[in-house]
A = this chain, B = another copy of it.
Amino acid sequence: MSSNAPIGVFDSGVGGLTVVKEIMNQIPEESIIYFGDTARLPYGSKSKETIITYTRQIIHFLMGKGVKVIVVACNTASALALETIKEEINIPILGVVKPGAKVATDTTRNGKIGIIATEGTIQSGIYNDYIHQLNPQLQVFGKPCPLLVPLVEEGLLDDSVTTEMVRRYTKELLEKDIDTLVLGCTHYPLLRKTIQKVVGDQIALVNPAYETARSLKEVLIQNDLDKKDMEKPSHQFFVSDGAEKFKRFAKSILPCEVVETKDVNIENY
């Protein structure tokens, strides 16, 4: 595998671009191939079997593009499919949950951590597991927030309805006296301001994207896969539906020019 090959990143849709943005900030020399499964989103309320099937197709697509490492930039897929898929491929693969769990563990002072995420991620119990591997003393409280992804997709980032839903979703976590809240879905960093306003400044918000990009950098170096040539990076974006809509969104959050976005028939992979 060439160390100059691109990094593969995927998500159910646009949310994973918050991870891409961090990767571009921290290792700007690397090329990225992104896939967003916009035809089949959202992943959050679907079963483990379905998420594994979808993930397997996407991995197959990305490996066909010659990627050297894969980042599962989707909490639901990281929670439900990563362990299974890892056994099936021969390149490094990392998710967003483990990095997020690490930062949360390092951040909390009172030992009480809240997780907001999709139904699939919360039901998997995976944040709980990873955090307890790092420190069995910590208390972890999870809350599924199924309406936050549709609200973000509708662009209601700073809106009374979104504020009301965030209030309902975080109420019981605040009652548990958490001091740290993990944004356990790649869409949620786009709601950071609203969430911070609702929970108050005394609660630390953890965005796994930053730590994921840091872990990725380490994995590349450990495997001697960090880019060696001096060529400018080139990025490619693929989606399973609505390339134009995706492109507009990507342009609004990424620091680079999004030259081209292509539609892919992912069910054939």
Contacts and interface: CB of A to CB of B under 8 A. Distances in A.
A134 interface: no
Interface residues of A, number: 25
Contacts of A46: 38-39, 241-242
Contacts of A154: 146-147
Contacts of A267: 267
Given A39-B50, A47-B242, A241-B47, A161 B165 contact: yes
Contacts of A39: 40, 46, 50
A150 interface: yes
A50 B241 contact: yes
A160 B167 CA distance: 13
Tally of this chain's copies: 2
Interface in A154-202: 154, 160-161, 164-165
Interface string A88-131: 00000000000000000000000000000000000000000000
Contacts of A40: 39-40
A63 interface: no
Nearest to A156: B147
A151 interface: yes
A265 to B, nearest CB: 8
Interface of A: 38-40, 45-47, 49-50, 53, 146-147, 150-151, 153-154, 160-161, 164-165, 240-242, 263, 265, 267
